Amino acid sequence: MGIYDRDYYRQAEPAFSVRAPGTIIGRLILINVVVFLANGLLTSGTNLITDLLAAHSSTIFEPWMWWQFLSYGFAHDPSNWGHILFNMLGLWFLGRDIELTYGRKEFLWLYLVMLVVGSLSWSIVNVLRGVPAGVDFTLVGASGAVVGIVVLFALHFPRRTLLLFFVLPVPAWLVGVLLVAGDLLGTFGTGRHDVAYSVHLAGAAFAFLYYRFGWNLGRLVEGRFSWVNFKRRPKLRIHDPPSEDAELSNQVDRILEKIHREGEGSLTRKERRTLENASREYQRRRQ
């Protein structure tokens, strides 16, 4: 198998296609925008779609509605264009590098898990605080997962320059710190009442732990459910490569692991040449 056929390297494909989104980022944005527009155009101001997808303060007590802990992340407040606009801008500008770092499949798992972690945290906070009788709190928006993406970006690329408020150039680590600090202040009663700060903090906390401990959600899920496989496995073929091939393979594995940890931009010229040479050699053997 060539280098460019491996999961590590396939993540370096073009970031977006106008005809059809070529990345998970593009598809997530498309789904969010379609749901937002459909709610406004098809439900005549009743917000039927948003209300259906939203997580409610009662959802945690209704197991048959637990799918809302995920679906809420694809619905946004139809009366607030800024809600979806800033979420999607943050996902687009910062999420692309994170998807390139982890790959499409792992990025999707990460995004979805952060949505669920955020909504579960929100529900638990509501239970602990106590919801007044007859009051139904609702949760919509991708903010929890987007905040997690921002934190991961700041951890991976702390010195990358970002435009704060699209004007002030600051390092990425400062944006991450300011974002988390703002959510902490909001949690203690100094923020807006219509912002679920606990969701933001849950996404940020999960992102930090994910980075700190080097988790891989795709491997975890595949390992736990690998027994659910009804396809006939191919016969095992044993190949004993020469020592030079083994050394080249070891070098490639080390380089790909570095891409997984630090991104493609961290490679040296020598490492890039090694990948190119190995790719040509693997392709020659396949032919």
* Average pLDDT, integer, range 163-170: 85
Mean pLDDT, the chain, rounded, equals: 81
Q: Residue 19: what are its φ and ψ, rounded to 5°?
A: -70, -45
Sequence-distant (≥ 6) Cβ neighbours of residue 11 within 8 angstroms: 99, 100, 101, 102, 103, 104
Band (pLDDT 50/70/90 cuts) for residue 225 is low
Band (pLDDT 50/70/90 cuts) for residue 134 is low
Residues taking part in catalysis: 143, 200
CB 256 within 8 A of CB 6: yes
DSSP state of 139: E
Band (pLDDT 50/70/90 cuts) for residue 237 is low
Looking at residue 244, its pLDDT comes to: 59
Looking at residue 227, its pLDDT comes to: 46
> Could you tell me what percent of the chain has a pLDDT over 90?
43
Among 32, 35, 62, residue whose Cα is nearest residue 49: 35
* Average pLDDT, integer, range 98-106: 92
Looking at residue 194, its pLDDT comes to: 59
Q: Is the pLDDT at 95 greater than 50, yes or no?
A: yes
- The predicted model scores a pTM of 0.71
The architecture of the domain spanning 3-224 is: Up-down Bundle (1.20)
Q: Give the range among 51-55, 154-158, 228-232 with minimum mean pLDDT.
A: 228-232
Q: What would the pLDDT profile of 244-270 be if each residue is shown by its tens digit?
A: 567 777 777 888 877 877 777 777 878
CB 46 within 8 A of CB 36: no
Q: What would the pLDDT profile of 2-18 be if each residue is shown by its tens digit?
A: 444 455 445 444 444 44
Q: How far apart are the first and last CA of the chain?
A: 11
Band (pLDDT 50/70/90 cuts) for residue 21 is low
Q: Is 163 helix (H, G, I), strand (E, B) or coil?
A: strand
